[in-house]
Amino acid sequence: MFEKIRPLGDRVLVKRLGQQDKTESGLYIPEAAKEKAQTGQVMAVGAGRLDTAGKVVPMHVAVGDVVYFGKYSGTEAGNDFLIIREDELLGIVEK
């Protein structure tokens, strides 16, 4: 359902990427101790924000970009999705 949302303004629909199940040393992390991922893939992008003159400022992210965001950023939209303002995104993860 959330894959079909078209964000408004300067908002971005992000799907969280998978979490690690074990540490680098090989220890498995129990479900209760896992933190939600802070990286995700952009699934949909709004048109952009309006400046003081009323012109639309285009977005800096595009569908398919992998982005990094803060732990408490955005609004939950289902289990794996967030709707985040573009200015809450911390960066684009380069491949």
Q: How far is CA 72 from the centre of its chain?
A: 11
- Model pLDDT, residue 25: 74
Q: Summarize pLDDT for 57-71 with one digit per residue, the tens.
A: 999 999 999 999 998
Domains, the chain:
7-18+35-92 (2.30.33.40)
Q: Is 38 helix (H, G, I), strand (E, B) or coil?
A: coil
- Model pLDDT, residue 38: 86
Q: Summarize pLDDT for 23-69 with one digit per residue, the tens.
A: 667 776 666 656 677 899 999 999 998 889 989 899 999 999 999 99
- Model pLDDT, residue 13: 93
- Model pLDDT, residue 44: 92
Q: Are 15 and 87 in contact (CB under 8 A)?
A: no
- Model pLDDT, residue 22: 62
- Model pLDDT, residue 92: 92
* H and E: helices and strands count for the chain: 0, 8
